[in-house]
Amino acid sequence: MNDQRVSVVITTYLRDDMLAESLQSLAAQTLPLHEVLVVDDGGSGSAREIVSQFGERFRYLWQPNSGQQSARNLGARSSTGDWIAFLDDDDLWLSERHTRLAELMATGQVDLISGDFTKFGENWIAPTGVFYEIEQKSPGFWDGIPHEPGANYSIVGKFPTTRLFPVYPFWPSTLVIRRDLFERINGWNTKLRGIKSEDNEFGFRAIKNGELGIIWPPTVHYRCHMGNDSNFPLLNAIGRTQVWEEMRESLELTDNERSALNTAIDQTRHGIIWSAFSEKKHAIVVETARKMTGLNLSITERTKIFISKMIARSG
């Protein structure tokens, strides 16, 4: 169908080796892609030669360093496809992914697609997808979501947005969005530059305003390496609360969404106090406690806060 052209947007910054592998995974799709746009966010320009090796469907753009959100917006708005897919420069598409996407797009019933993915690293690959991990850690998370046994995909429609706090399963490299929906939600939020877990905000807006389809077999490999945000759980937790605060202030939320968001913020801040104290980051403990006035703090938490304040003052 004419309205199934997919443009893949990759943002990159000085990771040419991994970028080359990501591009190779796109070039190896069993169903060729409409185009691939690589946005170099203030890098040296060396990525241009990497991109040029893959032919005319692969385009290179450069911008002064402005952050991943700005780079994704530039790539999306420079693309010509009906659908926009995002891929981090260290992740990979499995060869049949575009075919799976086309099957779901052909139904005409969705304008946002995500799906399961598998973590991998040097000489290893996880035996199960991340969706299984989520079910183990948060039993019942997928309850009520359509999924026929053996089906490659489901037309979900309106996903229950309250489940996205604090669990968020739809990572950037799995997202594919129709152009009209992307423009309707005004793309990525550049105010969140440099904040970890910033993709939660974009995903929430897309899911809230779109009709979701899910691909159940993993079709993306998420690379685990020292540069991953997932290696910094404390900073990720802080980032999530910052993103959620921005959402609470700037988005129109239902009462149930606001309640779920507030609960996630409060619970995550409790976790930040424990983690920051164990890492001897006492300034973070004090700053987090300042935002928890009136909350029910345990005696242990109050003790940690008191000790952190004393250390912070003496330091």
CA atoms within 13 A on the CB side of 88: 16
Tell me the pLDDT band of 313, cut-offs 50, 70 and 90. Answer: confident
| pLDDT for position 2 | 57
The pTM of this model reads 0.94
Single-letter code of the amino acid located at 257: E
| pLDDT for position 42 | 96
Asked whether the beta carbons of 191 and 75 are under 8 A apart, the reply is no
| pLDDT for position 301 | 93
Longest dimension (CA), the chain: 68
Residue found by looking up tokens 């799709």 in the block: 29
User: What's domain 6-231's architecture?
Assistant: Alpha-Beta Complex (3.90)
| pLDDT for position 314 | 84
Domain ranges in the chain with CATH number 3.90.550.10 = 6-231
Partners of 10 in the β-ladder? 38, 87
Tell me the pLDDT band of 1, cut-offs 50, 70 and 90. Answer: very low
Q: At residue 11, what are phi and psi to the nearest 5 degrees?
A: -100, 145
Distances (CA, A) of 193 to 69, 162, 198, 239, 303: 7, 24, 8, 11, 34
Closest-CA residue to 199 (of 72, 64, 15, 61): 72
pLDDT at 230 over 90: no
| % residues pLDDT > 90 (the chain) | 92
CA angle, corner 298, sides to 246 and 239, nearest 5? 25
pLDDT at 249 over 50: yes
* Mean of pLDDT values over 194-211: 96
| pLDDT for position 232 | 83
Distances (CA, A) of 296 to 48, 190, 270, 278, 289: 54, 34, 10, 20, 11
How many residues are present in the chain? 315
pLDDT digits (tens, 9 = 90+) for 96-155: 999 999 999 999 999 999 999 999 998 999 999 999 999 999 999 999 999 999 999 999
